[in-house]
Amino acid sequence: MKIAKVIAHPLAADYDQPSWTAHEYFDRAQLVLVEIRTDQGVTGVGEIAGGPQKLICDLLKTFSDVIKGMDPLDHDRVWRTLFSLTSPRPGGLGGWDGLPAPLPRNHRPQIMAAIGGIDIALWDIKGKVAGQPVFRLLGGTRTKVFTYAVGGFYVEGAPMTACADELAEYVTRGYRAVKLKTGALSLANEVARIRAVRAAIGPDVLFMLDMNAPYNVAGCIEFAKAVTPYDIFWLEEPLHWYLQPVDFTQLAAATSIPLAHGEREWHGTTVRDFIDSGAIRYVQFDATRHAGFTEALRIADHAKRKGVSIAPHTAAHIHGHLVSAFGDAAFGAESVGLPERHPIHHAIYQGGAEMKADGMLHLTEAPGFGFDVDWKWVGKLRA
């Protein structure tokens, strides 16, 4: 079997209600759907979160020419071939060895995103060829995996503690763990939001804080002390974007609340150093943002050996397979509290993993990642 073509589908959908995290404004969802066709009629689908979509689509076109004719089941070779384009190589100057010249360093996030989308589609093909869901290919047996709901995004004009009602609603839908966006307001106001959520969800629901990198080490130690009384399960992305494992180690030494990190990392080498530092207890690498399922597997394997729990960021319909495959070494997958909260996923995917009222993500026996694409909706949402 050979790879025939990679096709990029850039999609966008406006949110009903614009919102913020501590760092970013969201008024529309974006996703690049990656379709890989083979010479034997099997097609795989992957997806990429991030942008700019034009650059990612241009890279996918370049990569399509590079991997055309390769075996789609040889995911590691495809991954290493594409990744090799990010560094100089003997004879590679000017692309004179037949591969594209080393790619521009200022495109690296988008390059790693494009590699990720292709890689996920290859795993979908692998499952379809084997007639097995991806989690079973990896030795997973769990058809129900733990999942939690994220919410409490900032909405202009909304009451400050509206987040409490929202997260309590997710609990009534069956979730046994909820995560609040925090980090945008003053410490006193954030403590008020967190107190309101804990009061609304009761003492037995796991409660995580998703901070989106608002603090330096000293500021975050103060924050952690202030929120400790509310039985916080983890602090996610607590420190500014440029801070490194040594900074997380300082923070971890000063708080009893476990730290979670990884969604912003582009590849496994930086994640390795966060894991090896001993500072983080949960690793949140996102295969749909960067580097794909193959890199997520490498990271998960390393995390398992080091006793760090696997808790992938977003895209539960894909990452749920990783969570299943790693059994007790994985914590769970992240879901949006309401399916329509991700208007693209909600529109274009049918079947696949689904959160049910028992608070678990249910995987199916359908091959690959198990979802079908509604191509009519792909056409409607084309960016």
Q: Is 210 in the site for Mg ion (CB under 5 A)?
A: yes
Token duo for residue 110: 């988008």
Shortest separation between residue 334's beta carbon and Mg ion, angstroms: 8
Q: Which residue in this structure is represented by tokens 């290493």?
A: 80
Interface size with Mg ion, residues (CB under 5 A):
2
CB-nearer residue toward Mg ion: 24 or 204: 24
CA angle 332, 334, 339 (to 5 degrees): 130
Q: Which residue in this structure is represented by tokens 């996610």?
A: 236
Token duo for residue 339: 């399916």
CB-nearer residue toward Mg ion: 262 or 370: 262
Q: Binders of Mg ion among 296-335, rule CB under 5 A?
A: none
Q: How far is CA 10 from CA 3, 77, 339, in A?
A: 21, 26, 21
CB-nearer residue toward Mg ion: 183 or 367: 183
Q: Binders of Mg ion among 218-237, rule CB under 5 A?
A: 236
Shortest separation between residue 232's beta carbon and Mg ion, angstroms: 14
Shortest separation between residue 68's beta carbon and Mg ion, angstroms: 36
DSSP per position, 356-380: -TTSEEEP-SSSBT-EEE-HHHHHH
Token duo for residue 46: 């992957």
Residue of minimal Cβ distance to Mg ion: 210
Shortest separation between residue 119's beta carbon and Mg ion, angstroms: 22
CB-nearer residue toward Mg ion: 166 or 236: 236
Shortest separation between residue 4's beta carbon and Mg ion, angstroms: 36
CA angle 126, 129, 135 (to 5 degrees): 50
Shortest separation between residue 235's beta carbon and Mg ion, angstroms: 11
Peptide bond into 52 cis (omega under 30): yes
Q: Is 286 in the site for Mg ion (CB under 5 A)?
A: no
CB-nearer residue toward Mg ion: 210 or 247: 210
CB-nearer residue toward Mg ion: 200 or 213: 213
Measure the CA dihedral 340/341/344/346, to 10°. -30
Give the residues lining the site for Mg ion (CB under 5 A). 210, 236
